[in-house]
Every structure is written in C-alpha cells, then in structure tokens.
Amino acid sequence: MSILGNRVVRVEDPRFLTTGGTYVEDLVLEGAVWLTYVRSTIAHAHIESIDTSDAVAMPGVLAVFTGEDLAELGTAPHLLPVFPDGMRRPFVARDVVRYVGQPVVAVIAESRALGIDAAEQVVVDYDPLTPVVDPEAAARDEVLLFPDVGTNTVTRFESESTADFDDCEVVVELRIVNQRMTGAPIEPRSGAAYWTEEGRLVHYSACQGAHPTRDLLAEVYGLDRTEVRVVVPDMGGGFGAKSRTYPEEVALGFYARAVGRPVRWTESRTENMMAMPHGRGQIQRSRMGGTRDGRITAYELDVVQDAGAFPLMGAFLPMMTQRMLNGVYDITNVGYRSVSVATNTVSTTAFRGAGRPEAAVAVERTLDRFAAEIGMDPAEVRRRNMIPRFTEPYTTGIGTVYDVGDYPEALRRALEAVGYDKLREEQAERRQAGDHLLLGIGIGVYVEITAGGPSSEYGAVELGPGGRVEVRSGSTPYGQGHDTTWAMIVADRTGVPMDHVDVVHGDTDLVPSGGLTVGSRSVQLGGSAIADATTKLVNAARQRAADLLEAAVDDVVLDAETGRFHVVGTPATAVDWATIAEGPGPALVEVSDFAAAMPTFPFGAHVAVVEVDVDTGRCRLERIVAVDDAGTLINPLLAEGQVHGGLAQGIAQALLEEIRYDADGNPLTTNFADYLVIGATELPSFEVDHLETPTWVNELGAKGVGESGTVGSIPAVYNAVIDALSHLGVKHLETPLHPERVWRAAQGVG
Ligand code: MCN
C-alpha cells in the first residue's frame, strides 16, 4: 500500500517542538556586527541634509553610511524589465524619500542596542513634497513620484476585447477594495553576510528562495554565481512577502565588505509592519450583466493596483487577476483593464493568493450583487453559469486554459455539508422574529492558478551508506512541511523508510539550482522533480541489483513495500538498498529538472455562516465549510494544515486586517495593537473536505494547495456579511467588515 495519501505527521515537528529551529538570528557568526537603519519619517520629501556626526562619534559604532556612500551599488534591479527604469529603488535613499520607512542612513554597530541608540542620534532634514497615497489619485498623475519618468503608471494589462452590455436586461456595478494586508510572519525579515578570504560572499537569509537571492546578489555585486553562497536556515513564515530579498538586506554584503566583519540584520516588528512590502492594494470596478432568469452574459473589471513607491511583484499581480477573471463561470463576453501606479507608500508584493483572491472576490461578490438584483438565490445563479465538469483543457472567456475541474460538484458538496436550505429557513425565521442577531450565508466558489510563474524545479536523490537516501530540493520551505512531503514521495517509490530519507534544501552550495516557493508550486514542480529523480534511481538500482543477483535486469523488480529487489517470482533471494549502496561502482545519484507543460488550477467551494449583531455591528464567523480540490493529495494532513492557514488569512481580510495610511502617507498600523492579526478566538473550527480531481499536468496528479484557503474564504465571508444585512437594504460594503462599518450600514448612518 502506498504511503501517499496518508495523514503522516510532520517529520520536522519533533525538532521544532523540542530543541527548536535555527533561524538566521540564531546563527553564531564570530565577530558579527549589527546593521540598523534610520528610516524616513515622512512619505515624500527632499533630503536637505543628513548629520551623522554624533552617531559616528559613539563608541562601538563602526560606520555610518548614507545613500551617497552606497552609490557604487547603483539601484536595486527591477523584478521585471517592463517597469520604468527611472523607478528603480536605491539601496539607501538619495536626494528624495518616497515612503515612510524608506532607509535613509545605515548604522553598523557592535550590538543591536548600540545601533538603535546611534540611529537615534542621526539628524535628517527634510523638505516635504506633496505626497500621493491614494492609488486612484496617483493614476491621475497630478503628483508625480518620479518626475523624470513623467507618470506614476508602472504598467498596464488589458484584454484584447471589451465586454458588450447592450443586450443585458440587468447590469450591476460595484467598487471593491482589496485592502492592503501584511503577511505578519512570526519571523520578520532577517539576514547576515560576510566575505570569505577567497572573496566569496556568504549570505544567510530568511527568504522564500535561496537561488533567486543568490542570482540577485551576483547581479548587484558583479560576481559570478559560484562566488555567492546563500543559505536559508529554518524560517518563520513568509506568505509571499519574502519572495524577494529587498535592498535593505541585499546591501549587507556592502556593509560587511566596508567594515571587514560579518554584518547581521533583523528588523523589528514595527519595521516589518511599516517597511516589509504589503499585499493586495487593488481597487476594482466590476460590471456584470445578464438576463432576469439568471444567465450572466457580460462581465468586466477595471483595476487600479497600488504598486507602492518602487514597483515590485505587486505591480505585476493584476496580470494574475486578469488570468483568473472568469472564475468558475462560462462567460465569453468579458473585458479587463488594469493600471498599476506608484504611490508614497511601501511597495506591494505577493501575499497568499497574489492576484487570484482579487479575481475571486470580484466575480463572486459581483455575482451575489447580480443575484440580489434579480431576486434569485445566489447558489442557483452560480449553478446556472458554471463551467460544467471537464477533464480536457478548457479555455475561458478571458483566454486562460484550465486543466481539469468539477466546480458543480464542489459547490454541491459544500452546500450539502453546511445544510444550505435549512440555514436559509433559519435566516428567514430570525428576520421574521426581528432577532438582533442576523444570520448571513455566503458562498465563494473559486478556481485559482498554481505554478503560474516559472514552470520548472530541481530535484535530486542520492543513495548513501546504509541505504539512506538524500534528497536535494530546489524548493525552499518556510512552514509547508516539505521534508515530510519529499520523504513520502521517496519512500513510496523506493520502499526506503521515511526516517532513512534526509532532505537538503536552502543552500546554494549543496543544491545547484532552484526557484521560489511561491504560487503553491512546490509539490507539483519540486515534488514531481523528486518523484522523477527517484524513479530514475530505482532504475539505476535495478541494474545494480541485477548484477548482484546475476539476473537479467528486465527480470528484476523492486518490492516497494519492503524496499528489496528480487527476480520476478523468487522474492526469497533479494538485495536491499543498503547492499546496493555498497556498490560496486560510484554512488547512485539521479537528477531531474522537472518542467510542467502548464500551470494547474485548484478549485473549491467555501460556504460561510456569520452572525451579525445589528446593535453593535459585530460579525461572528459561526461556521466555514471548505471543499477544496488540489488534485491528488500527497499528505491530506499537511494539505489541511495549509487550508487552515489560508482560511485564517482569508477570513482576516474579510473581517479584520487592514494596513492603513493617513492622507499624508503616515502608516497607522505599525504593530499588533493597530493591525488586528486574526487569532483563534475569532475563528470557528474549520469544516474541511477535499475533492481529488487529479491533474494530467504532472505524474503525481497534484495541484497546489498552499493558497487555496485564502482564495475561497474571502468572498465566502464577505458575501455572508452582506447577505446578513441585505434585507435592510444593504447592497455592498468595503472590507474589512469591522463592527463600525457594519453597524453604520445596519443602522443606515453614513
Ligand atoms: N500538499 C499535498 N498535496 C498536494 C499539494 C500540497 O499534500 N497536491 C501539501 C504538501 O504537504 C506540501 C504543502 O501541501 O508540503 C504545500 O504545498 P504547495 O501547495 O505545493 O505549496 P508550496 O509548498 O509551494 O508553498 C507555497 C505556499 C504559498 S505561495 C504561501 S504564500 C504560503 C503557503 O504555501 N505561505 C506559508 N503556506 C504557508 N505555510 C506556512 N506555515 N507559512 C507560510 O508563510
């Protein structure tokens, strides 16, 4: 029996739960000194002068650097070549600051405490410029962040056609704000760097991909990739925000060279909230039209994406929103336009779901509005417009090709599990009785795209002494449980017990290549690479077993239950992996750079049940049923864990969390008192179920699951709250649906 598909507990956990992980901050680096940044306190200004003399004079301060000192590094490379060159970010600000939190001065000191004290002695004189914080205002180009570029527009994405609403009987329009969020990883950004005597740069980083960081450092420092070693030790979460190693950290090598010592940096929580790039920040205008009997015939979306001060991944994400525009619906008459604009706020980047939750929110929320307008049950409108089950590639109205899907079944299961009809009855009864606790039921059916970016990943397996197998993976985990997952794949194909499998990742000297752990791509690409390499290892081992058994290789089989090779029909005479490892011949090593033909499209249906107190505006999520399909599951326990985390972050977006700035660009949410990170007390027990529709895109049949929980839950909870208030005439609200906003709507006060 295969181990795949079993609820195997994580092999990582005994270590995490006992001796603890080793994070960048835990590394012992002899002679290391600390980097502290003086950060801009103003959103948009000319730097008139910087006085570092008092800081420099402090005992224990090794050096103080301004942007001028770092001029030789130039500006940070753009993520994408389409971004205007004039919008590149300096490592430390020069002449102009463009967001609160931008590094202005770097202090290198013997201790962290000393660095903080010295940074406070630095005096920066600013001459304020008008800030532009609202992306819709920025799109008007009245205030420019980069006058030389001549526009705040970073990039645009548009569909070839526009939607035609002429024949629609009913048209609804919404303005939807996907507010700024932060990933709030337990471990903030953290890095350390030093130069070896041979001139190699060694850089430790809490980042979502060792190799992309290596390549970035090689580019910035003009080094060959072999001259850079990046190590990602244990890591306390990333949620997309650590998919790029940012200029603050990239410059560590510069400081280390300048002071001739290892330099380390771990930002504070406030710095993390203020200066680690945020997620979302997408304003949408949606328009949906159709017939009074529930057929949707036209749909379009206009997007303004807040890119923040210097464009990063966030500026690109409207492209992902465009690709997922249709959601699960068969609508051919569609249109899409987006503009990504620079504002005087910290940059935006990926955050769990990265452009796909935005698409799901738009279509699911607008569909609910359409259903309300025609007076039809929203579940019924969904059924009438859904793409039917398909197993061959399906091209949507916007032109995206999906792999496999069974959306009607996901919805059917979720509605059945939640007891939809009974809930509707209860809702009607409560309304009739004038209950102050209103019941709301919301549906979010979604399809999302995983491995939507670079489509290949590295994996290698090596047979070692005693029959142990070492896996070398190009993926960098930060909470997903890859060690367990990879060990299961190897165990399944070889019969080698999981505890005889050692997994190596996150070190560019030990693993030659690798990509980012983003877009829920690791299992389908990295897992497939390891599966592929393992199959090759079995074949190579079979040859060696044949020699040892003095048999023809075609007659030798592996019993994957016991991990022993034998001649067909004579299992009593067998050789095990340990014997094969002894040789003769060199160690058996197999490598795979697995490339997928296309991304995969996980899907699901979430149903949320909320109770809204009409007197206080408080929304309590009572239940959430999540039916998710990530194809064949390697480990349902871990996949469920991923869904749980995703649900929490999606629910948080609907109800609680929001990064806010005032009109001058001052961040208002710089700690966990202001930014309401969701906790267990705000969450019910999740009711999760899985469909498993294998994809044909990879041999494992696996799609990604790391972000699905977020994509489905935001619209489900969002729709549930509006549904609770709908009989009071409330048609739409913005998220997060915090008590004041809900109370005002319920009471009809503006
Ligand atoms: N899995 C499975 N079967 C599948 C797919 C996945 O059993 N068909 C399980 C595997 O155990 C695997 C895990 O789910 O280890 C996640 O796999 P996958 O969906 O391939 O996602 P990635 O490993 O590429 O993780 C990336 C994804 C993203 S993009 C974000 S953001 C995210 C997330 O994972 N951030 C996280 N999960 C997180 N979990 C933690 N703890 N912390 C974060 O910051």
pTM beyond cutoff 0.85: yes
Distance 563 CA to ligand 1 centre (A): 29
Phi-psi region of 677 (alpha: psi -120 to 50; beta: other; left: phi over 0): beta
- Count the helix, strand and coil residues of the chain and give each as a percent rounded to the nearest 5: 30, 25, 40
Ligand 1 contacts CB of residue 254 (under 6 A): no
> What number does the ligand 1 atom closest to the CA of 242 have?
44
CA nearest neighbour of 532 among 459, 632, 631: 459
Q: Give the mean model confidence (pLDDT) for residues 374-381.
A: 98
Ligand 1 contacts CB of residue 481 (under 6 A): yes
What CA–CA distances, in Å, run from 307 to 12, 73, 117, 282, 621? 37, 24, 33, 9, 32
- CA torsion through residues 192, 197, 199, 200, sign: negative
**Token pair for 418:** 């939640």
Q: Give the mean model confidence (pLDDT) for residues 612-636.
A: 98
| Number of Cβ within a 10 Å radius of residue 2 | 11
> Which pLDDT belongs to residue 750?
73
**Token pair for 326:** 């249709």
Q: Give the mean model confidence (pLDDT) for residues 524-543.
A: 98
Ligand 1 contacts CB of residue 704 (under 6 A): yes
| Number of Cβ within a 10 Å radius of residue 669 | 19
Distance 149 CA to ligand 1 centre (A): 39
Is 734 a residue whose pLDDT tops 80? Answer: yes
Ligand 1 contacts CB of residue 518 (under 6 A): yes
Tens digit of pLDDT for each residue in 334-358? 999 999 999 999 999 999 999 999 9
> Which pLDDT belongs to residue 380?
98
What CA–CA distances, in Å, run from 212 to 25, 137, 481, 667? 21, 34, 21, 30
> Which pLDDT belongs to residue 680?
93
Q: Give the mean model confidence (pLDDT) for residues 16-43.
A: 96
For 562, residues 6+ apart whose C-beta sits below 8 A from its C-beta are 495, 574, 576
One-letter amino acid at 561 equals E
- Cα Rg, the chain, nearest whole Å: 27
Distance 642 CA to ligand 1 centre (A): 6
Tens digit of pLDDT for each residue in 89-147? 999 999 999 999 999 999 999 999 999 999 999 999 999 999 999 999 999 999 999 99
Tens digit of pLDDT for each residue in 567-598? 999 999 999 999 999 989 999 999 999 999 99
> Which pLDDT belongs to residue 1?
83
Ligand 1 contacts CB of residue 639 (under 6 A): yes
> What number does the ligand 1 atom closest to the CA of 636 have?
7
Instruction: Give the Cα separation of 444 and 448 in Å (integer).
Output: 12
Q: Give the mean model confidence (pLDDT) for residues 198-212.
A: 98
Distance 643 CA to ligand 1 centre (A): 9
Percent of all residues in the chain with a pLDDT value above 70, rounded to a whole number: 100
Ligand 1 contacts CB of residue 700 (under 6 A): no
Ligand 1 contacts CB of residue 617 (under 6 A): no
Q: Give the mean model confidence (pLDDT) for residues 512-529.
A: 97
One-letter amino acid at 494 equals T
Residue whose CB lies within 8 A of the most ligand 1 atoms, among 458, 482, 520, 633, for a mutation test:
520
Ligand 1 contacts CB of residue 369 (under 6 A): no
Ligand 1 contacts CB of residue 520 (under 6 A): yes
Q: Give the mean model confidence (pLDDT) for residues 263-282.
A: 98
Instruction: Give the Cα separation of 279 and 347 in Å (integer).
Output: 9
Ligand 1 contacts CB of residue 650 (under 6 A): no
Burial (CB count <10 Å: 0-12, 13-18, 19+), residue 223: middle
Find out whether 273 and 308 touch, Cβ atoms under 8 Å. no
Distance 485 CA to ligand 1 centre (A): 10
What CA–CA distances, in Å, run from 453 to 318, 456, 662, 663? 14, 9, 35, 35
> Which pLDDT belongs to residue 453?
87
> Which pLDDT belongs to residue 454?
81
Find out whether 562 and 619 touch, Cβ atoms under 8 Å. no
**Token pair for 19:** 């001796």
> Which pLDDT belongs to residue 583?
84
Find out whether 110 and 33 touch, Cβ atoms under 8 Å. yes
Find out whether 348 and 281 touch, Cβ atoms under 8 Å. yes
